[in-house]
Structure 1
Amino acid sequence: MARRRRYSRDPLGLRRAMSGLLLPGLVAAMALLAALALAGAQGAATLAERWQRGAAAAVTVQIPDADAVRLERAVAALRGMPEVAFAQAMEPERLAGLLRPWLGDSPAISVPGVIELRLRDSRTDPVLIGDRLANVVPGAMVEAHGLWVQRLAALARSLQAIALGVLVLVAVVAAAVVAVATRAGLAARRNAIEVLHGLGARDGDIAGRFARRLGLLAATGALVGACVAVPALALLVDLAGPWVGAEGRLDGLAGLPWAGLLALPPVAYLVGWATAQATVRRWLHQLP
Protein backbone atom coordinates (compact mmCIF):
# COMPACT_ATOMS: atom_id res chain seq x y z
CA MET A 1 0.00 0.00 0.00
CA ALA A 2 2.76 2.43 0.92
CA ARG A 3 4.58 1.58 -2.29
CA ARG A 4 1.39 2.24 -4.28
CA ARG A 5 0.92 5.67 -2.61
CA ARG A 6 4.50 6.65 -3.39
CA TYR A 7 3.99 5.51 -6.99
CA SER A 8 0.81 7.55 -7.31
CA ARG A 9 2.58 10.66 -6.12
CA ASP A 10 5.51 10.05 -8.49
CA PRO A 11 4.22 7.82 -11.30
CA LEU A 12 7.13 8.71 -13.59
CA GLY A 13 9.79 7.92 -10.99
CA LEU A 14 11.36 11.36 -11.37
CA ARG A 15 12.81 11.31 -7.87
CA ARG A 16 14.95 8.34 -8.88
CA ALA A 17 15.67 9.53 -12.40
CA MET A 18 16.70 13.03 -11.32
CA SER A 19 18.00 12.62 -7.77
CA GLY A 20 21.64 13.57 -8.27
CA LEU A 21 23.45 16.64 -7.02
CA LEU A 22 24.83 17.66 -10.40
CA LEU A 23 22.02 20.03 -11.38
CA PRO A 24 21.70 21.74 -7.96
CA GLY A 25 25.48 22.04 -7.80
CA LEU A 26 25.72 23.70 -11.21
CA VAL A 27 22.85 26.04 -10.42
CA ALA A 28 24.47 26.89 -7.07
CA ALA A 29 27.67 27.88 -8.87
CA MET A 30 25.73 30.04 -11.30
CA ALA A 31 23.73 31.60 -8.47
CA LEU A 32 27.03 32.50 -6.81
CA LEU A 33 28.15 34.22 -10.00
CA ALA A 34 24.81 36.03 -10.21
CA ALA A 35 25.17 37.18 -6.60
CA LEU A 36 28.64 38.52 -7.33
CA ALA A 37 27.31 40.36 -10.37
CA LEU A 38 24.47 41.88 -8.34
CA ALA A 39 26.85 42.97 -5.61
CA GLY A 40 29.27 44.38 -8.16
CA ALA A 41 26.55 46.40 -9.84
CA GLN A 42 25.28 47.77 -6.53
CA GLY A 43 28.78 48.52 -5.27
CA ALA A 44 29.75 50.30 -8.49
CA ALA A 45 26.60 52.40 -8.38
CA THR A 46 27.14 53.32 -4.71
CA LEU A 47 30.79 54.14 -5.19
CA ALA A 48 30.15 56.17 -8.34
CA GLU A 49 27.32 58.06 -6.66
CA ARG A 50 29.54 58.90 -3.70
CA TRP A 51 32.40 60.04 -5.93
CA GLN A 52 30.06 61.94 -8.21
CA ARG A 53 28.59 63.86 -5.29
CA GLY A 54 32.06 64.72 -4.05
CA ALA A 55 33.42 65.68 -7.46
CA ALA A 56 30.35 67.69 -8.38
CA ALA A 57 30.40 69.61 -5.10
CA ALA A 58 34.20 70.18 -5.11
CA VAL A 59 35.34 73.35 -6.85
CA THR A 60 38.79 74.90 -7.21
CA VAL A 61 39.36 78.67 -7.32
CA GLN A 62 42.54 80.12 -8.81
CA ILE A 63 43.75 83.59 -7.84
CA PRO A 64 46.41 85.00 -10.22
CA ASP A 65 49.10 87.20 -8.72
CA ALA A 66 47.99 86.00 -5.33
CA ASP A 67 49.29 87.46 -2.12
CA ALA A 68 48.08 87.06 1.42
CA VAL A 69 45.64 89.95 1.13
CA ARG A 70 44.01 88.76 -2.08
CA LEU A 71 43.73 85.20 -0.81
CA GLU A 72 42.16 86.28 2.48
CA ARG A 73 39.73 88.55 0.64
CA ALA A 74 38.73 85.73 -1.71
CA VAL A 75 38.30 83.21 1.10
CA ALA A 76 36.20 85.66 3.12
CA ALA A 77 34.00 86.39 0.09
CA LEU A 78 33.49 82.70 -0.61
CA ARG A 79 32.67 81.88 3.00
CA GLY A 80 30.06 84.61 2.93
CA MET A 81 28.20 83.02 0.02
CA PRO A 82 25.27 80.82 1.12
CA GLU A 83 26.02 78.26 -1.62
CA VAL A 84 29.50 77.53 -0.23
CA ALA A 85 29.84 74.98 2.56
CA PHE A 86 33.62 75.11 2.92
CA ALA A 87 36.41 77.34 1.60
CA GLN A 88 40.09 77.23 2.48
CA ALA A 89 43.29 78.41 0.78
CA MET A 90 45.67 75.62 -0.16
CA GLU A 91 48.95 75.78 1.71
CA PRO A 92 51.95 76.69 -0.52
CA GLU A 93 53.83 73.55 0.54
CA ARG A 94 50.97 71.31 -0.51
CA LEU A 95 50.53 73.17 -3.80
CA ALA A 96 54.25 72.88 -4.51
CA GLY A 97 54.11 69.16 -3.80
CA LEU A 98 51.23 68.70 -6.24
CA LEU A 99 53.04 70.64 -8.97
CA ARG A 100 56.49 69.14 -8.37
CA PRO A 101 56.06 66.17 -10.80
CA TRP A 102 55.36 68.64 -13.64
CA LEU A 103 57.23 71.84 -12.74
CA GLY A 104 60.05 70.59 -10.56
CA ASP A 105 61.24 72.06 -7.26
CA SER A 106 61.74 75.58 -8.62
CA PRO A 107 58.99 76.41 -11.12
CA ALA A 108 59.96 79.05 -13.64
CA ILE A 109 56.43 80.38 -13.90
CA SER A 110 54.33 82.24 -11.40
CA VAL A 111 51.95 79.87 -9.62
CA PRO A 112 48.50 81.26 -8.78
CA GLY A 113 46.97 80.88 -5.37
CA VAL A 114 44.47 78.06 -5.04
CA ILE A 115 41.37 77.92 -2.87
CA GLU A 116 39.49 74.68 -2.27
CA LEU A 117 35.80 75.00 -1.70
CA ARG A 118 32.84 72.68 -1.46
CA LEU A 119 29.32 73.55 -2.49
CA ARG A 120 26.29 72.83 -0.35
CA ASP A 121 24.37 71.65 -3.41
CA SER A 122 26.15 69.96 -6.32
CA ARG A 123 23.56 71.44 -8.68
CA THR A 124 24.79 74.99 -8.00
CA ASP A 125 26.33 76.60 -11.07
CA PRO A 126 30.02 77.37 -10.29
CA VAL A 127 30.06 80.03 -12.99
CA LEU A 128 27.73 82.24 -10.96
CA ILE A 129 30.03 81.93 -7.94
CA GLY A 130 33.01 82.80 -10.12
CA ASP A 131 31.30 85.92 -11.48
CA ARG A 132 30.43 87.14 -7.98
CA LEU A 133 33.93 86.39 -6.72
CA ALA A 134 35.53 88.23 -9.66
CA ASN A 135 33.72 91.39 -8.56
CA VAL A 136 35.51 91.19 -5.21
CA VAL A 137 38.85 89.77 -6.39
CA PRO A 138 39.52 90.63 -10.05
CA GLY A 139 41.00 87.80 -12.08
CA ALA A 140 39.62 85.00 -9.88
CA MET A 141 38.74 81.88 -11.88
CA VAL A 142 36.53 78.99 -10.81
CA GLU A 143 37.22 75.47 -12.09
CA ALA A 144 34.59 72.78 -11.60
CA HIS A 145 35.01 69.04 -12.15
CA GLY A 146 32.14 68.40 -14.52
CA LEU A 147 34.29 66.29 -16.85
CA TRP A 148 35.22 63.90 -14.06
CA VAL A 149 31.59 63.68 -13.00
CA GLN A 150 30.63 62.65 -16.54
CA ARG A 151 33.39 60.06 -16.66
CA LEU A 152 32.35 58.57 -13.33
CA ALA A 153 28.74 58.40 -14.48
CA ALA A 154 29.82 56.67 -17.71
CA LEU A 155 31.96 54.22 -15.71
CA ALA A 156 29.04 53.39 -13.41
CA ARG A 157 26.72 52.81 -16.37
CA SER A 158 29.30 50.58 -18.04
CA LEU A 159 29.78 48.45 -14.93
CA GLN A 160 26.05 48.10 -14.46
CA ALA A 161 25.64 47.07 -18.10
CA ILE A 162 28.36 44.45 -17.68
CA ALA A 163 26.64 43.13 -14.54
CA LEU A 164 23.33 42.93 -16.41
CA GLY A 165 25.06 41.05 -19.22
CA VAL A 166 26.52 38.59 -16.72
CA LEU A 167 23.08 38.01 -15.21
CA VAL A 168 21.56 37.35 -18.64
CA LEU A 169 24.41 34.97 -19.49
CA VAL A 170 23.94 33.11 -16.19
CA ALA A 171 20.21 32.75 -16.88
CA VAL A 172 20.88 31.40 -20.38
CA VAL A 173 23.44 28.89 -19.12
CA ALA A 174 21.09 27.82 -16.32
CA ALA A 175 18.30 27.24 -18.84
CA ALA A 176 20.66 25.17 -20.99
CA VAL A 177 21.70 23.07 -18.00
CA VAL A 178 18.07 22.47 -17.04
CA ALA A 179 17.25 21.52 -20.63
CA VAL A 180 20.05 18.93 -20.66
CA ALA A 181 18.91 17.54 -17.30
CA THR A 182 15.33 17.37 -18.57
CA ARG A 183 16.36 15.45 -21.66
CA ALA A 184 18.36 13.06 -19.50
CA GLY A 185 15.27 12.48 -17.33
CA LEU A 186 13.13 11.93 -20.42
CA ALA A 187 15.60 9.37 -21.74
CA ALA A 188 15.72 7.58 -18.39
CA ARG A 189 11.92 7.38 -18.05
CA ARG A 190 11.02 7.06 -21.74
CA ASN A 191 9.14 3.78 -21.40
CA ALA A 192 7.01 4.98 -18.48
CA ILE A 193 6.25 8.25 -20.25
CA GLU A 194 5.24 6.47 -23.45
CA VAL A 195 2.93 4.15 -21.51
CA LEU A 196 1.23 7.00 -19.66
CA HIS A 197 1.04 9.04 -22.85
CA GLY A 198 -0.51 6.10 -24.68
CA LEU A 199 -3.07 5.68 -21.87
CA GLY A 200 -4.23 9.26 -22.42
CA ALA A 201 -2.12 11.27 -19.98
CA ARG A 202 -2.16 14.90 -21.05
CA ASP A 203 1.03 16.61 -22.17
CA GLY A 204 0.46 19.33 -19.58
CA ASP A 205 0.37 16.79 -16.72
CA ILE A 206 3.58 15.09 -17.79
CA ALA A 207 5.35 18.38 -18.46
CA GLY A 208 4.08 19.78 -15.16
CA ARG A 209 5.64 16.94 -13.18
CA PHE A 210 8.99 17.45 -14.86
CA ALA A 211 8.72 21.23 -14.48
CA ARG A 212 7.99 21.07 -10.75
CA ARG A 213 10.83 18.62 -10.13
CA LEU A 214 13.39 20.56 -12.19
CA GLY A 215 12.21 23.88 -10.77
CA LEU A 216 12.62 22.59 -7.22
CA LEU A 217 16.14 21.32 -7.93
CA ALA A 218 17.10 24.62 -9.53
CA ALA A 219 15.67 26.61 -6.63
CA THR A 220 17.54 24.43 -4.12
CA GLY A 221 20.80 25.02 -5.94
CA ALA A 222 20.17 28.76 -6.13
CA LEU A 223 19.42 28.87 -2.41
CA VAL A 224 22.70 27.13 -1.62
CA GLY A 225 24.61 29.47 -3.93
CA ALA A 226 23.02 32.55 -2.38
CA CYS A 227 23.83 31.34 1.14
CA VAL A 228 27.46 30.71 0.16
CA ALA A 229 27.66 34.18 -1.38
CA VAL A 230 26.49 36.03 1.75
CA PRO A 231 29.66 35.71 3.90
CA ALA A 232 31.96 36.32 0.93
CA LEU A 233 30.06 39.43 -0.12
CA ALA A 234 29.87 40.69 3.46
CA LEU A 235 33.67 40.41 3.71
CA LEU A 236 34.08 42.33 0.46
CA VAL A 237 31.72 45.05 1.68
CA ASP A 238 33.71 45.35 4.91
CA LEU A 239 36.94 45.69 2.95
CA ALA A 240 35.35 48.33 0.72
CA GLY A 241 33.99 50.21 3.74
CA PRO A 242 36.55 53.06 3.65
CA TRP A 243 35.60 53.73 0.03
CA VAL A 244 31.81 53.76 0.44
CA GLY A 245 31.51 54.86 4.05
CA ALA A 246 30.46 51.51 5.47
CA GLU A 247 31.81 50.58 8.88
CA GLY A 248 31.62 47.38 10.86
CA ARG A 249 30.27 43.91 10.17
CA LEU A 250 26.63 44.89 10.62
CA ASP A 251 26.93 47.61 8.01
CA GLY A 252 28.64 45.08 5.75
CA LEU A 253 25.64 42.76 5.96
CA ALA A 254 23.25 45.65 5.56
CA GLY A 255 25.10 46.74 2.43
CA LEU A 256 24.43 43.48 0.58
CA PRO A 257 21.93 43.37 -2.32
CA TRP A 258 19.40 41.46 -0.25
CA ALA A 259 16.53 41.97 -2.69
CA GLY A 260 18.53 40.34 -5.48
CA LEU A 261 19.84 37.55 -3.25
CA LEU A 262 16.35 36.68 -2.01
CA ALA A 263 15.07 36.73 -5.58
CA LEU A 264 17.61 34.16 -6.82
CA PRO A 265 15.76 30.98 -5.65
CA PRO A 266 12.33 31.95 -7.03
CA VAL A 267 13.89 33.18 -10.27
CA ALA A 268 15.82 29.91 -10.57
CA TYR A 269 12.59 28.00 -9.97
CA LEU A 270 10.85 29.93 -12.74
CA VAL A 271 13.75 29.38 -15.15
CA GLY A 272 13.83 25.66 -14.36
CA TRP A 273 10.06 25.33 -14.53
CA ALA A 274 9.70 27.16 -17.85
CA THR A 275 12.66 25.39 -19.46
CA ALA A 276 11.45 21.95 -18.39
CA GLN A 277 7.93 22.73 -19.60
CA ALA A 278 9.15 23.77 -23.03
CA THR A 279 11.59 20.85 -23.34
CA VAL A 280 9.11 18.17 -22.32
CA ARG A 281 6.28 19.51 -24.48
CA ARG A 282 8.58 19.66 -27.51
CA TRP A 283 9.70 16.08 -26.83
CA LEU A 284 6.13 14.84 -26.40
CA HIS A 285 5.04 16.42 -29.66
CA GLN A 286 7.61 14.27 -31.43
CA LEU A 287 6.11 11.03 -30.11
CA PRO A 288 4.17 8.98 -32.63
Structure 2
Amino acid sequence: MSEMFDLPKWKPAPFLPEADARDGSLIFVVAVLCFLACMTALAVIAADRAARGWADQLTGEATVIVRPKGSESPDSAAARAAETLAGIPGVTEARALEREQAYDLIKPWLGDVADLEDLPVPRLVAVELNRKQPPSVLVLDAALKAQGLDATVDDHSLWINDIKRSASVARWLGGGVFLLIAGAAAAVIAFATRAGLAARRDVVEVLHLAGAEHVLIARLFQARFARIAATAGLFGAAAAMVTGAVLRLVGGGQGITPVLPFAWIDVLAVLPCPLIAAGVAAVAARLTASSLIGEMT
Protein backbone atom coordinates (compact mmCIF):
# COMPACT_ATOMS: atom_id res chain seq x y z
CA MET A 1 0.00 0.00 0.00
CA SER A 2 2.85 2.37 0.77
CA GLU A 3 4.07 2.14 -2.80
CA MET A 4 0.80 3.66 -3.98
CA PHE A 5 1.52 6.86 -2.08
CA ASP A 6 5.20 7.20 -3.04
CA LEU A 7 5.94 10.56 -4.58
CA PRO A 8 7.41 10.47 -8.11
CA LYS A 9 11.16 10.79 -8.15
CA TRP A 10 12.28 14.13 -9.56
CA LYS A 11 15.54 14.37 -11.51
CA PRO A 12 16.90 17.78 -12.39
CA ALA A 13 17.45 18.44 -16.07
CA PRO A 14 21.02 19.14 -17.17
CA PHE A 15 22.04 22.70 -17.88
CA LEU A 16 22.96 21.66 -21.42
CA PRO A 17 20.70 18.89 -22.80
CA GLU A 18 22.44 15.81 -24.15
CA ALA A 19 20.82 16.22 -27.56
CA ASP A 20 19.92 19.38 -29.38
CA ALA A 21 18.10 19.76 -32.68
CA ARG A 22 20.88 22.04 -33.89
CA ASP A 23 23.69 19.58 -33.16
CA GLY A 24 23.20 17.75 -36.45
CA SER A 25 23.74 20.89 -38.51
CA LEU A 26 26.75 21.87 -36.42
CA ILE A 27 28.31 18.44 -36.80
CA PHE A 28 27.77 18.56 -40.56
CA VAL A 29 29.43 21.98 -40.94
CA VAL A 30 32.42 21.08 -38.78
CA ALA A 31 32.75 17.69 -40.51
CA VAL A 32 32.94 19.40 -43.91
CA LEU A 33 35.61 21.77 -42.62
CA CYS A 34 37.57 18.85 -41.18
CA PHE A 35 37.28 17.00 -44.49
CA LEU A 36 38.67 20.00 -46.37
CA ALA A 37 41.52 20.32 -43.87
CA CYS A 38 42.39 16.63 -44.24
CA MET A 39 42.35 16.82 -48.04
CA THR A 40 44.61 19.86 -47.88
CA ALA A 41 47.06 17.92 -45.71
CA LEU A 42 47.02 14.97 -48.14
CA ALA A 43 47.61 17.29 -51.11
CA VAL A 44 50.59 18.94 -49.38
CA ILE A 45 52.07 15.53 -48.53
CA ALA A 46 51.68 14.37 -52.13
CA ALA A 47 53.20 17.58 -53.51
CA ASP A 48 56.15 17.32 -51.14
CA ARG A 49 56.74 13.67 -52.12
CA ALA A 50 56.63 14.57 -55.82
CA ALA A 51 59.07 17.44 -55.33
CA ARG A 52 61.51 15.26 -53.40
CA GLY A 53 61.29 12.57 -56.08
CA TRP A 54 62.03 15.05 -58.88
CA ALA A 55 64.88 16.62 -56.93
CA ASP A 56 66.45 13.23 -56.19
CA GLN A 57 66.16 12.23 -59.83
CA LEU A 58 67.79 15.43 -61.05
CA THR A 59 70.51 15.19 -58.40
CA GLY A 60 71.60 11.88 -59.92
CA GLU A 61 71.82 13.24 -63.45
CA ALA A 62 73.83 15.75 -65.43
CA THR A 63 73.86 16.85 -69.05
CA VAL A 64 76.97 17.85 -70.97
CA ILE A 65 76.75 20.00 -74.11
CA VAL A 66 79.70 19.26 -76.39
CA ARG A 67 80.78 21.57 -79.19
CA PRO A 68 83.33 20.23 -81.69
CA LYS A 69 86.63 22.01 -82.25
CA GLY A 70 88.39 22.39 -85.54
CA SER A 71 87.95 19.51 -87.93
CA GLU A 72 86.68 17.08 -85.27
CA SER A 73 83.16 15.87 -85.94
CA PRO A 74 80.42 16.48 -83.36
CA ASP A 75 79.84 12.76 -82.90
CA SER A 76 83.52 12.14 -82.28
CA ALA A 77 83.73 14.95 -79.72
CA ALA A 78 80.65 13.63 -77.90
CA ALA A 79 82.05 10.09 -77.81
CA ARG A 80 85.37 11.37 -76.44
CA ALA A 81 83.54 13.39 -73.77
CA ALA A 82 81.49 10.36 -72.73
CA GLU A 83 84.62 8.24 -72.46
CA THR A 84 86.33 10.92 -70.37
CA LEU A 85 83.43 11.31 -67.96
CA ALA A 86 82.93 7.56 -67.54
CA GLY A 87 86.32 7.30 -65.82
CA ILE A 88 85.57 9.91 -63.14
CA PRO A 89 84.81 8.55 -59.64
CA GLY A 90 81.15 9.05 -58.82
CA VAL A 91 79.98 8.77 -62.46
CA THR A 92 77.85 5.67 -62.92
CA GLU A 93 77.32 5.98 -66.66
CA ALA A 94 78.07 8.44 -69.44
CA ARG A 95 76.67 8.01 -72.93
CA ALA A 96 76.59 10.26 -75.96
CA LEU A 97 73.11 10.82 -77.37
CA GLU A 98 72.47 10.08 -81.03
CA ARG A 99 72.31 12.92 -83.49
CA GLU A 100 68.58 12.37 -84.01
CA GLN A 101 67.98 12.70 -80.27
CA ALA A 102 69.76 16.05 -80.21
CA TYR A 103 67.67 17.22 -83.15
CA ASP A 104 64.47 16.11 -81.45
CA LEU A 105 65.33 18.24 -78.42
CA ILE A 106 65.74 21.47 -80.38
CA LYS A 107 62.96 21.01 -82.93
CA PRO A 108 60.24 22.30 -80.55
CA TRP A 109 62.22 25.54 -80.26
CA LEU A 110 63.13 25.97 -83.93
CA GLY A 111 59.91 24.74 -85.48
CA ASP A 112 59.83 22.94 -88.81
CA VAL A 113 63.32 23.36 -90.22
CA ALA A 114 63.94 21.75 -93.57
CA ASP A 115 67.53 20.71 -92.93
CA LEU A 116 69.20 20.79 -89.53
CA GLU A 117 72.44 19.48 -90.97
CA ASP A 118 73.46 23.02 -91.90
CA LEU A 119 73.13 24.21 -88.30
CA PRO A 120 75.97 23.80 -85.78
CA VAL A 121 73.92 21.57 -83.50
CA PRO A 122 75.93 20.53 -80.42
CA ARG A 123 75.90 16.96 -79.16
CA LEU A 124 74.67 15.95 -75.73
CA VAL A 125 76.13 13.50 -73.24
CA ALA A 126 73.79 12.07 -70.58
CA VAL A 127 75.63 11.42 -67.32
CA GLU A 128 74.31 9.23 -64.49
CA LEU A 129 75.79 10.18 -61.10
CA ASN A 130 76.12 8.38 -57.81
CA ARG A 131 73.40 10.00 -55.67
CA LYS A 132 75.34 9.42 -52.46
CA GLN A 133 78.67 10.82 -53.66
CA PRO A 134 78.14 12.73 -56.92
CA PRO A 135 81.12 14.56 -58.39
CA SER A 136 80.88 18.33 -58.53
CA VAL A 137 80.50 20.36 -61.69
CA LEU A 138 84.02 21.66 -61.25
CA VAL A 139 85.44 18.12 -61.32
CA LEU A 140 83.51 17.22 -64.48
CA ASP A 141 84.42 20.49 -66.18
CA ALA A 142 88.10 20.14 -65.30
CA ALA A 143 88.23 16.62 -66.73
CA LEU A 144 86.67 17.77 -69.99
CA LYS A 145 89.00 20.74 -70.32
CA ALA A 146 91.99 18.50 -69.66
CA GLN A 147 91.04 16.58 -72.82
CA GLY A 148 90.73 19.78 -74.83
CA LEU A 149 86.97 19.55 -75.16
CA ASP A 150 84.69 22.56 -75.52
CA ALA A 151 81.83 21.48 -73.26
CA THR A 152 79.37 22.88 -70.75
CA VAL A 153 78.18 20.85 -67.77
CA ASP A 154 74.62 21.30 -66.52
CA ASP A 155 73.96 19.60 -63.18
CA HIS A 156 70.31 20.76 -63.16
CA SER A 157 70.92 22.79 -59.99
CA LEU A 158 68.68 25.57 -61.34
CA TRP A 159 65.79 23.13 -61.81
CA ILE A 160 66.40 21.56 -58.41
CA ASN A 161 66.25 24.96 -56.70
CA ASP A 162 63.02 25.77 -58.55
CA ILE A 163 61.48 22.46 -57.47
CA LYS A 164 62.47 23.00 -53.84
CA ARG A 165 61.11 26.54 -53.94
CA SER A 166 57.81 25.31 -55.39
CA ALA A 167 57.55 22.62 -52.70
CA SER A 168 58.16 25.24 -50.03
CA VAL A 169 55.43 27.46 -51.49
CA ALA A 170 53.03 24.49 -51.54
CA ARG A 171 53.76 23.77 -47.87
CA TRP A 172 53.17 27.39 -46.87
CA LEU A 173 49.95 27.57 -48.89
CA GLY A 174 48.75 24.34 -47.34
CA GLY A 175 49.52 25.67 -43.88
CA GLY A 176 47.67 28.88 -44.66
CA VAL A 177 44.61 27.01 -45.91
CA PHE A 178 44.68 24.81 -42.80
CA LEU A 179 44.76 27.87 -40.53
CA LEU A 180 41.86 29.43 -42.44
CA ILE A 181 39.80 26.27 -42.04
CA ALA A 182 40.66 26.09 -38.34
CA GLY A 183 39.62 29.73 -37.97
CA ALA A 184 36.32 29.03 -39.74
CA ALA A 185 35.66 26.07 -37.43
CA ALA A 186 36.42 28.23 -34.39
CA ALA A 187 34.04 30.92 -35.66
CA VAL A 188 31.27 28.33 -36.12
CA ILE A 189 31.78 27.00 -32.60
CA ALA A 190 31.84 30.53 -31.19
CA PHE A 191 28.55 31.30 -32.92
CA ALA A 192 26.98 28.11 -31.54
CA THR A 193 28.25 28.96 -28.07
CA ARG A 194 26.72 32.43 -28.27
CA ALA A 195 23.40 30.93 -29.36
CA GLY A 196 23.46 28.40 -26.53
CA LEU A 197 24.23 31.03 -23.92
CA ALA A 198 21.59 33.40 -25.28
CA ALA A 199 18.97 30.64 -24.98
CA ARG A 200 19.95 30.01 -21.35
CA ARG A 201 20.63 33.55 -20.22
CA ASP A 202 18.11 33.35 -17.35
CA VAL A 203 19.61 30.11 -16.09
CA VAL A 204 23.12 31.59 -16.21
CA GLU A 205 22.01 34.55 -14.11
CA VAL A 206 20.32 32.27 -11.55
CA LEU A 207 23.40 30.06 -11.33
CA HIS A 208 25.56 33.12 -10.82
CA LEU A 209 23.31 34.36 -8.01
CA ALA A 210 23.49 30.88 -6.46
CA GLY A 211 27.27 31.15 -6.32
CA ALA A 212 28.32 29.25 -9.45
CA GLU A 213 31.65 30.46 -10.83
CA HIS A 214 32.12 31.62 -14.39
CA VAL A 215 34.71 28.91 -14.98
CA LEU A 216 32.26 26.13 -14.09
CA ILE A 217 29.61 27.32 -16.54
CA ALA A 218 32.18 27.95 -19.30
CA ARG A 219 33.59 24.47 -18.75
CA LEU A 220 30.19 22.95 -19.51
CA PHE A 221 30.13 24.63 -22.92
CA GLN A 222 33.77 23.71 -23.50
CA ALA A 223 33.13 20.00 -22.89
CA ARG A 224 29.91 20.01 -24.91
CA PHE A 225 31.35 21.53 -28.06
CA ALA A 226 34.63 19.62 -27.77
CA ARG A 227 32.63 16.37 -27.95
CA ILE A 228 30.64 17.65 -30.93
CA ALA A 229 33.79 18.73 -32.77
CA ALA A 230 35.53 15.42 -32.03
CA THR A 231 32.57 13.55 -33.54
CA ALA A 232 32.56 15.82 -36.58
CA GLY A 233 36.33 15.44 -36.92
CA LEU A 234 35.92 11.67 -36.91
CA PHE A 235 33.39 11.87 -39.74
CA GLY A 236 35.55 14.31 -41.72
CA ALA A 237 38.70 12.21 -41.30
CA ALA A 238 36.86 9.04 -42.33
CA ALA A 239 35.53 10.75 -45.46
CA ALA A 240 39.04 12.00 -46.31
CA MET A 241 40.48 8.50 -45.88
CA VAL A 242 37.86 7.02 -48.20
CA THR A 243 38.46 9.78 -50.76
CA GLY A 244 42.21 9.25 -50.61
CA ALA A 245 41.79 5.51 -51.12
CA VAL A 246 39.52 6.09 -54.12
CA LEU A 247 42.01 8.54 -55.65
CA ARG A 248 44.81 6.01 -55.32
CA LEU A 249 42.76 3.24 -56.88
CA VAL A 250 41.53 5.45 -59.72
CA GLY A 251 45.08 6.64 -60.42
CA GLY A 252 46.40 3.12 -60.83
CA GLY A 253 48.30 3.04 -57.55
CA GLN A 254 49.91 6.49 -57.90
CA GLY A 255 47.08 8.84 -57.04
CA ILE A 256 44.76 10.94 -59.13
CA THR A 257 47.78 11.86 -61.27
CA PRO A 258 51.47 10.82 -61.31
CA VAL A 259 52.33 14.46 -60.63
CA LEU A 260 50.83 14.09 -57.12
CA PRO A 261 51.66 10.55 -55.99
CA PHE A 262 49.60 9.28 -53.08
CA ALA A 263 50.68 6.45 -50.76
CA TRP A 264 48.54 4.34 -48.45
CA ILE A 265 50.53 5.49 -45.45
CA ASP A 266 49.38 9.06 -46.15
CA VAL A 267 45.95 8.28 -44.72
CA LEU A 268 47.56 8.17 -41.29
CA ALA A 269 48.01 11.95 -41.53
CA VAL A 270 44.27 12.45 -40.95
CA LEU A 271 44.14 10.47 -37.70
CA PRO A 272 44.85 13.51 -35.44
CA CYS A 273 41.91 15.38 -37.01
CA PRO A 274 39.33 14.58 -34.26
CA LEU A 275 41.76 15.66 -31.53
CA ILE A 276 42.69 18.88 -33.34
CA ALA A 277 39.03 19.66 -34.00
CA ALA A 278 38.17 19.04 -30.35
CA GLY A 279 41.02 21.27 -29.21
CA VAL A 280 40.02 24.14 -31.49
CA ALA A 281 36.39 23.84 -30.44
CA ALA A 282 37.25 23.68 -26.75
CA VAL A 283 39.36 26.83 -26.91
CA ALA A 284 36.78 28.72 -28.98
CA ALA A 285 33.87 27.69 -26.73
CA ARG A 286 35.80 28.44 -23.52
CA LEU A 287 36.87 31.92 -24.61
CA THR A 288 33.46 32.81 -26.01
CA ALA A 289 31.56 31.49 -23.00
CA SER A 290 33.84 33.20 -20.49
CA SER A 291 33.49 36.53 -22.28
CA LEU A 292 29.69 36.36 -22.61
CA ILE A 293 29.09 35.10 -19.08
CA GLY A 294 31.07 38.02 -17.78
CA GLU A 295 28.86 40.41 -19.76
CA MET A 296 25.65 38.73 -18.56
CA THR A 297 26.52 38.84 -14.89
Query: Shorter-chain TM-score category?
Result: 0.7 to 0.9
Query: Following superposition of structure 1 onto structure 2, how do residues 246-257 of structure 1 map, counting pairs within 5 Å?
Result: 252-254=263-265, 256-257=266-267
- 8 A Cα contact 2:23 2:228, kept in partner: no
Rounded Cα–Cα distance in structure 1 between residues aligned with 2:18 and 2:77: 84
Distance 1:2-1:95 versus aligned 2 partners, 3 A rule: farther
Match of 1:175 among 166, 169, 186: 186
Q: Deviations over 1:110-164 (max 9, x none)?
A: 1121111121137642221121122135213212212111111111111111100
**Which residue of 2 is the match for residue 74 of structure 1?**
81
- Aligned residue pairs total 278
Which runs of structure 1 show a deviation greater than 6 angstroms over 4 or more consecutive aligned residues?
A: none
Distance 1:276-1:113 versus aligned 2 partners, 3 A rule: same
Rounded Cα–Cα distance in structure 2 between residues aligned with 1:167 and 1:50: 25
Query: Following superposition of structure 1 onto structure 2, how do residues 1-288 of structure 1 map, counting pairs within 5 Å?
Result: 4=11, 7=12, 11-17=14-20, 20-65=23-68, 66-103=73-110, 104-107=113-116, 108-121=118-131, 124-238=135-249, 239=251, 240-241=254-255, 243=258, 252-254=263-265, 256-259=266-269, 261-288=270-297
Rounded Cα–Cα distance in structure 1 between residues aligned with 2:77 and 2:228: 73
Moved more, 117-126 or 209-218: 117-126
Unaligned runs of 5+ in 2: 1-7
Unaligned runs of 5+ in 1: none
Counting helix residues as a fraction of each chain, which structure ranks higher?
A: 1
Report which of the two structures shows the higher radius of gyration computed on alpha carbons: 2
**What TM-score do the two structures reach when normalised by structure 2?**
0.85
- 8 A Cα contact 2:28 2:232, kept in partner: yes
What secondary structure is seen at the aligned counterpart in 2 of 1:62?
Answer: strand
Distance 1:245-1:15 versus aligned 2 partners, 3 A rule: closer
Distance 1:156-1:55 versus aligned 2 partners, 3 A rule: same
Rounded Cα–Cα distance in structure 1 between residues aligned with 2:218 and 2:149: 80
Rounded Cα–Cα distance in structure 2 between residues aligned with 1:113 and 1:225: 55
Distance 1:2-1:280 versus aligned 2 partners, 3 A rule: farther
How far residue 277 of structure 1 moved from its aligned partner, in angstroms, is 0.8
How far residue 219 of structure 1 moved from its aligned partner, in angstroms, is 0.9
